Amino acid sequence: MGMSANTIQMCVGNGETCKRLTQSGVQSLPCPGPTLCEFGKGGLCKPYGRLNVKVGKDDDLGTFIFRTTGYNSIRTLAARLSYYQAVSGGLLTYMPLELKLRGKSTTQSHRTPIYYVDLVIRRGYHFTRRWPRQEKPSGW
């Protein structure tokens, strides 16, 4: 997401295409990523992640939306979702998962903690090669 100095959204993209505000209006353009585009090179492009989660199975409207601009959270969630999708045989929807706040420190952060969100199997459940089955669990 590219922002102007007074925080007006100038460019919104998904890493492949973007909609950018130009002199001639909003245009759909290719999005080469934040390190290769004009907004990214100027430090005006930052990641924005959104994870929509259904909470429970009883309430169709029981949802939670996790929003973040943290690179570590976006990278970790994308990797975990891809991994869980693969090991579940495409049944990610039925896996009992929970968000977990984690911290780490690096030399780049001058050893101050950086917090990010991770996605893990819910406490009390154990993942085995036989779970999840290739069908919907009972009750869904």
Q: Is 85 or 62 the better-scoring residue by pLDDT? A: 85
Of the ranges 6-15, 18-27, 127-136, which is most confident?
A: 18-27
Dist. CA 66–CA 55, nearest whole Å: 12
Cα-based torsion angle of the residue sequence 102, 107, 112, 115 in order, rounded to the nearest 10 degrees? -20
| pLDDT number for residue 3 | 45
Q: What is the DSSP letter of 104?
A: E
Residues in the chain, how many? 140
Residue 109 has pLDDT above 50, yes or no: yes
* Mean pLDDT, residues 4-26 taken together: 79
| pLDDT number for residue 23 | 87
Each residue's pLDDT tens digit, 113-135: 889 999 999 888 776 655 545 55
| pLDDT number for residue 136 | 57
The pLDDT mean for the chain works out to 81
Residue with tokens 């492949």: 16
| Residues contacting 39, CB < 8 A, separation 6+ | 2, 10, 11, 20, 45
Instruction: Beginning with the edge strand found earlier in the chain, give each strand of the sheet holding 9-13 in spatial order.
Output: 2-3, 9-13, 17-22, 25-30
Q: Is 62 or 67 the better-scoring residue by pLDDT? A: 67
